[in-house]
Chain A
């Protein structure tokens, strides 16, 4: 068995080293491209997902969110709870928020948006909202009657859904906000953009202003407390620590808010799988054609090999090994290109997409999976023509029939 494998390997290696260099280079090149294509989409998807998650954590949820108990509208004694949570060593900051929906009016335009009431100082410890201001300024604690708008609300600044915005509100303008029948005017203090569509379709005012509009002044209510932890703390551990503090409120990690992202991810995942299937089919066809052409040119040689007693299986395996070596080289070149070329390049020169600047992320397990698939298709793509020819009568092969 091993002896036969040795002969196959010998024939394959001689065929590669002494055979047609052009065919070898072409085949390896094409397989390299196919491997890159197979991992590229996954890498893009992983990059996008990572970006989404980052935005989610950085601009909306923090790492963990505490919500009201079942069947209650508010968290009561929010500031005391905040203090308690902030006593945990892994907690960097907390932000207690009121959250509701409201309607904006500006000139003729009227749109709905999510409205947050925040303590501006607390918020900066949890999210990067302050740094996301692209015009004007961030809120400060004593502000009254001032508001900051996401660019999807204000319009302009490259908003993705301009027609669903107030179309051109600028800093200093006054907008009308109606919440539960109460209408008040606010001066726009700043406009922010996280490039994260969902986060940019909101508006922030001070918690005192929102309490007033909701009629709950000074009650120390909150609808969510977003918690930011030290980088690298597992969300699960944070939740356990919170539970051990005796917190009876609902505790959710940011993952649980990423439902829509999951949906997008699995949709893109489907697209990715289809593209992979097509890529593999192309790989299969190319390997089939290359090996077939290669073999047809070697009909006579195969006949002679059979005549002098080289076993049919040994001949077939020698072609399969050759295809596997091509595939292996393609995988190595493709992986090297991605890992040490394209991925680092997009990290240092991120690609600007509507979502923000995005870089590729190459997952080794995925790359391995694609490598295995490419290998399998090269095996199948070479076994078929090799078997078909090696099985022929040896005199027919020698006489080129």
Chain B
């Protein structure tokens, strides 16, 4: 009987130990999960297995083939590659300007493949900013109006719009040209207005497709310096397409594309 009692006590003891160990394991697993969570939340955009094919009559152009990209919050990314390699196409997928044939784009934890066109529009309005190669300013709006039109669309009051626009235009060095129409500005000035427009609503990510392609190298440097300033001072995430190596030096990381495939 006594033997039996002892055995039982032993058994209970070892069971306690096992329980303790299990608890420890669970704890450490929690830590791992947390760190995984951290990395996930730290990822601002992730695209998984993106494929984009264009049909040109009979011919199919496979602009992106199973592209996987992950961009962390606060990163300055340069997308490079030869002409026709799919840089613009990739940027358009990341920036929700286009819809991939297959694959997912996850921005800030939300899967955007399930959004409707108008929901995507809202998402772009509130969370994303764009700088185009040819500035793409609205010619009938002056600098300030071009900048605050998206704030207005967000429902901000006129005074909020105007003060925010004035502030950001001052930050890009155009504080003295608030009322100027795009047609009266140089290319560099127009591109700075377009940067101000892209940043006015503090987007999660700024996308720029060859923002300096139409600018001389001095003006290009001014624009890139602006990007760097916003990246470093405000932690602005930037994804920029470029084909100039010296532009890429501004970036934290370069994603190289060739024939629609990311080169490791």
Stretch at the interface among B42-50, B57-65, B122-130: B122-130
For residue B32, CB closer than 8 A to chain A, the reply is no
Instruction: Pick the residue among B97, B153, B181 that contacts A310 (CB under 8 A).
Output: B153
Q: Is the CB of A312 within 8 A of B149?
A: no
Nearest Cβ distance between residue A24 and chain B, in whole angstroms? 12
Known interface pairs A394-B97, A395-B92; A308-B197 also in contact (CB < 8 Å):
yes
Q: Is the CB of A314 within 8 A of B153?
A: yes
For residue B118, CB closer than 8 A to chain A, the reply is yes
Within 8 A of B (CB), among A285-317: 300-301, 304-312, 314
Nearest Cβ distance between residue B152 and chain A, in whole angstroms? 5
| B residues in contact with A304, CB < 8 Å | 132, 136, 138
| A residues in contact with B51, CB < 8 Å | none
Nearest Cβ distance between residue B66 and chain A, in whole angstroms? 21
Q: Is the CB of A311 within 8 A of B141?
A: no
The distance in angstroms between the C-alpha atoms of A398 and B134, with both chains bound, is 11
The distance in angstroms between the C-alpha atoms of A183 and B95, with both chains bound, is 105
| B residues in contact with A398, CB < 8 Å | 132, 136
Known interface pairs A314-B153, A394-B97; A308-B140 also in contact (CB < 8 Å):
no
The distance in angstroms between the C-alpha atoms of A151 and B126, with both chains bound, is 84
| A residues in contact with B155, CB < 8 Å | 3
| A residues in contact with B150, CB < 8 Å | 308-310
Q: Is the CB of A312 within 8 A of B140?
A: no
The distance in angstroms between the C-alpha atoms of A141 and B128, with both chains bound, is 100
Nearest Cβ distance between residue B99 and chain A, in whole angstroms? 9
| A residues in contact with B141, CB < 8 Å | 14, 18
Total A residues in contact with B, Cβ cutoff 8 Å? 25
| A residues in contact with B118, CB < 8 Å | 311-312
The distance in angstroms between the C-alpha atoms of A14 and B140, with both chains bound, is 6
For residue A19, CB closer than 8 A to chain B, the reply is yes
The distance in angstroms between the C-alpha atoms of A312 and B120, with both chains bound, is 12
Tally of A-B Cβ pairs under 8 angstroms: 67
Q: Is the CB of B152 within 8 A of A308?
A: no
For residue B145, CB closer than 8 A to chain A, the reply is yes
Instruction: Pick the residue among A3, A19, A395 that contacts B98 (CB under 8 A).
Output: A395
Instruction: Pick the residue among B132, B140, B149, B153 that contacts A18 (CB under 8 A).
Output: B140
| A residues in contact with B130, CB < 8 Å | 307-308
| B residues in contact with A300, CB < 8 Å | 136
For B156, the closest partner residue in chain A by CB is: A3
Nearest Cβ distance between residue B108 and chain A, in whole angstroms? 16
Nearest Cβ distance between residue B5 and chain A, in whole angstroms? 75
Nearest Cβ distance between residue B129 and chain A, in whole angstroms? 8
For B207, the closest partner residue in chain A by CB is: A307
For A19, the closest partner residue in chain B by CB is: B140
Q: Is the CB of A14 within 8 A of B145?
A: yes
For residue B82, CB closer than 8 A to chain A, the reply is no
| A residues in contact with B139, CB < 8 Å | 18, 301
Q: Is the CB of A7 within 8 A of B136?
A: no
Most A CB contacts (10 A, CB to CB) among B130, B132, B138 go to B138
For residue A345, CB closer than 8 A to chain B, the reply is no
For A6, the closest partner residue in chain B by CB is: B152
Known interface pairs A18-B140, A301-B139; A308-B149 also in contact (CB < 8 Å):
yes
Within 8 A of B (CB), among A156-215: none
Nearest Cβ distance between residue B133 and chain A, in whole angstroms? 11
For residue B173, CB closer than 8 A to chain A, the reply is no
Instruction: Pick the residue among B121, B140, B152, B181 that contacts A306 (CB under 8 A).
Output: B121
Q: Is the CB of B121 within 8 A of A305?
A: no
For residue A15, CB closer than 8 A to chain B, the reply is yes
For residue A236, CB closer than 8 A to chain B, the reply is no
| B residues in contact with A308, CB < 8 Å | 124-125, 130, 149-150, 197
Q: Is the CB of B140 within 8 A of A15?
A: yes
For A13, the closest partner residue in chain B by CB is: B140
Nearest Cβ distance between residue A282 and chain B, in whole angstroms? 28
The 8 A CB mask of A2-18 against B (1 = contact, 0 = none) is 01101100110011001
| A residues in contact with B122, CB < 8 Å | 309
For B117, the closest partner residue in chain A by CB is: A312
The distance in angstroms between the C-alpha atoms of A314 and B149, with both chains bound, is 12
For A306, the closest partner residue in chain B by CB is: B121
Nearest Cβ distance between residue A277 and chain B, in whole angstroms? 35
| A residues in contact with B124, CB < 8 Å | 307-309
Q: Is the CB of A309 within 8 A of B121?
A: yes
| A residues in contact with B136, CB < 8 Å | 300, 304, 307, 398
The distance in angstroms between the C-alpha atoms of A308 and B122, with both chains bound, is 9
| B residues in contact with A309, CB < 8 Å | 121-126, 128, 150, 153
The distance in angstroms between the C-alpha atoms of A305 and B139, with both chains bound, is 12
Q: Is the CB of A301 within 8 A of B138?
A: yes
Nearest Cβ distance between residue A293 and chain B, in whole angstroms? 16
Nearest Cβ distance between residue A386 and chain B, in whole angstroms? 16
Nearest Cβ distance between residue A44 and chain B, in whole angstroms? 42
The distance in angstroms between the C-alpha atoms of A18 and B180, with both chains bound, is 12
The distance in angstroms between the C-alpha atoms of A33 and B123, with both chains bound, is 46
Within 8 A of A (CB), among B73-95: 92
The 8 A CB mask of B93-113 against A (1 = contact, 0 = none) is 000011000000000000000
Partner-B contacts on A (CB < 8 A): 3-4, 6-7, 10-11, 14-15, 18-19, 300-301, 304-312, 314, 394-395, 398
Sampled A-B contacts (28; CB under 8 Å) = A4-B153, A10-B145, A11-B140, A11-B149, A15-B140, A300-B136, A301-B138, A304-B136, A305-B138, A305-B149, A307-B97, A307-B130, A308-B149, A308-B150, A308-B197, A309-B121, A309-B122, A309-B123, A309-B126, A309-B153, A310-B121, A310-B149, A311-B118, A311-B153, A312-B121, A394-B97, A395-B92, A395-B98
Lowest 7 A-B CB distances belong to which pairs?
Answer: A309-B125, A3-B155, A18-B140, A309-B124, A304-B136, A14-B140, A308-B150
Other 16 A-B pairs with CB < 8 A, given A3-B153, A309-B123: A3-B155, A7-B149, A10-B145, A11-B140, A15-B140, A18-B141, A300-B136, A304-B136, A304-B138, A305-B149, A307-B136, A308-B125, A309-B153, A310-B121, A394-B97, A395-B92
